[in-house]
Every structure is written in structure tokens, then in C-alpha cells.
Amino acid sequence: MRANVLIGTGSMRMTERPIPTPLPGEVLVRVHAVGVCGSDAHYFREGRIGPHVVTGPLILGHEASGRIAAVGAGVDPDRIGQRVSIEPQKPDPTSTESKAGHYNLCPHMEFYATPPVDGALTDYVTIGADFAHRIADSVSYEAAALFEPLSVAIASARKAGVTAGSRVLVAGAGPVGMLTAQVARAFGATEVVVSDVDPLRRERALDFGATSVVDPTISNVRELAVNAFIDASGATAAVIDGIHAVRPAGTVVLVGMGADEIPLPVPIIQNRELVLTGVYRYANTWPTAAALVAAGRVDLDSMVTGRYTLEQSSEALEADRIPGSIKAVVMVTEGD
């Protein structure tokens, strides 16, 4: 099979590798579409993200969809041919975290495209059968690949306690920020304010869930008085301003990755009894993602602003630098 492999900082190489064999309980998926995530771009440009460092050849890509081509022992052979969205996690089912339902926090997790685990910029991948989620024929492969970042948004909105009538602030109008705004609206939020320094991104956010947008360099974000603040920017100033914007008994959810340590306004957190938490990937989100997309409550297809072939993976990894780009997708396999 073909694989476009990261072989060094800023360097990819098309190679041939053996098609993997699904183990018992796994399925083999012919990859159709792979979304490009910010973490992929970090690995491509810098060779690391946070504590995760690329130390050898690595296949990038963890936002993926495709069609089941084969099954391992113990998996219903009728699943062959199913169109699926891949939840790119391989947790240890016996870990304490997995048994508690928090399998995303499993310390033995194998996650696509997190060194040294290979990802999906290749023709075939294997995944546990329960993590290959069947999709409706009406859902495109591009949209199905984006169930992964949509799941981050769902996990974030759940942590934030977004519900009917909520007033929510989202910092960062990148793909996750826009998806979070859409999910917040779908969960019942009546006001979703999106903050970003880029005027083009602010404008696009109004098409993807935001009821209003603000430029944090001009507007006083701290005066917004919201029930929940979700940071999808990783910017220290955005985090601090967002915490100040939350009303008493509200919630702060940190999603974006920025500085390892930042000063926090402790009196604000204490005196308002704010809940401050983080999001690390997701758990039990794919059914909700599928339902939101099927109901038309979240628009994924319109977020795709660039399509590339597997051979063009390097260009796809640089697409976020193109003005107006929201989401790049690598079409590994054309057709159905």
C-alpha cells in the first residue's frame, strides 16, 4: 500500500508498506479521507507538540474515514463494505480509566499519529471494530473524517455544561472553535460569542454557529458576562480574559494548547466559584456527532476549503497558512 511518511522536519516521502492484517476484534479500513489537524502541522513543521516528539519515520493523520475492507477474528463479516468514521484511539480496555468510561485518559493509549503510532495518510489502517463507526450513505467521506474534531467540540461543550439558554464565549475561530460554536448552538445556547484577532476568521465564524464576534484587541472581553468560556486558541491573553468574563458558578474549559504554564486570576476563580477544567481528546462522542450531522445541526462539508491527493500531503499540511482556509482534507481514495 502507499503511505506518505514524515521522514524529517518539513519532509515527506511517498513509500510502499505492507497492508496490515487486522487482529482479533479489529477491522481493516480502506482510507478515503483524512482531515489535517493543527497537531499534524506541528509535527510536520517542528517535529513535536508538547511532550510528544517525533523520533523516527511517522505517518501523520488522525481524522479519518473510509470503508471496511476486511475483519479480524470475532468481528461480523457482514461489516465488510461498511462506510465508517474512524475514532483513532486504541485504549487498553483493562485500565482503570477505561473501566470507568474515561477511555480517552487511558495511560496505555495508542492514538493515531501520536509518536510512535502511525496515522492515516496511507491506503489502509486497522482499528478496533467498536471504533469504526458506521456512517449514513448521505454523509460524505470528508464530513465523516471531521467527526474527529467535531468530537473535541462535543466533549468541550459537555464539560462546559452548555444547555438551553446558555451564554457562551469561545476564544479562537479556527476549525475547533467554529465546531464548538456550532455544537454550543445545537446544545441550546442562545448566545455564542466568538473571539479572534483575525477579521476573516471572525467573519467566517458567523457562518458556523457564532451569534456575534469580537476583536479582543479592541473589545473588552472581560465584560461579556457568560455562563461558560471555552478556549480553543491556546493564547494566554485569551485564557485570562475569558476567565474574567465568566459569571459566578460558571465553567472554564481549556481546549487549545499553548504555554505550559500561565498565571491565573486565582481570586476570580475562588470568589466566583468557577469550575476550571481541560479537555483531552474525547470519549463516547461519535454517536452524538453522527446525530448532529444527520439532523443538519452541524455543517462539516462547508468547512472543507481544500482537497488534496495523498501525494500532495505536504501541501495539505501547509494549507492553514492560506488566507480563508478552514479545513484541508486529503482524499486518499477517490470514489466510493
The yes-or-no verdict on residue 35 having pLDDT over 80 is: yes
Question: What is the percent of the chain with per-residue pLDDT over 90, rounded to a whole number?
Answer: 96
Contacts of 116 (CB under 8 A, 6+ apart): 55, 56, 58
Q: Which of 7-21, 38-52, 186-200, 210-224 comes out lowest in average pLDDT? A: 38-52
Best CA proximity match to 286, nearest among 97, 155, 175, 142 = 155
The yes-or-no verdict on residue 150 having pLDDT over 90 is: yes
Section 171-198 average pLDDT: 98
Section 270-278 average pLDDT: 98
pLDDT at res. 170: 98
pLDDT band at 336 (very low <50, low <70, confident <90, very high): confident
In terms of DSSP H, where are the helices of the chain? 38-46, 96-99, 141-145, 147-160, 175-186, 199-205, 236-244, 266-271, 286-294, 313-317
pLDDT at res. 171: 98
Section 136-164 average pLDDT: 97
pLDDT at res. 334: 80
The per-residue pLDDT for range 211-257, each reduced to its tens digit, is 999 999 999 999 999 999 999 999 999 999 999 999 999 999 999 98
Cell of residue 165, nine digits: 439558554
Residue intervals in the chain for CATH 3.40.50.720? 150-278
pLDDT band at 51 (very low <50, low <70, confident <90, very high): confident
pTM for the whole thing?
Answer: 0.96
150-278 is a CATH 3.40.50.720 domain: yes
Name 131's bridge partners. none
The per-residue pLDDT for range 303-324, each reduced to its tens digit, is 999 999 999 999 999 999 999 9
2-146+300-331 is a CATH 3.90.180.10 domain: yes
Cell of residue 105, nine digits: 485518559
Give the integer Cα–Cα distance in Å for 64 and 145.
Answer: 4
Residue intervals in the chain for CATH 3.90.180.10? 2-146+300-331
The yes-or-no verdict on residue 113 having pLDDT over 90 is: yes
The yes-or-no verdict on residue 50 having pLDDT over 90 is: no
Q: Within a 10 A sphere around the Cβ of 13, how many other Cβ atoms?
A: 12
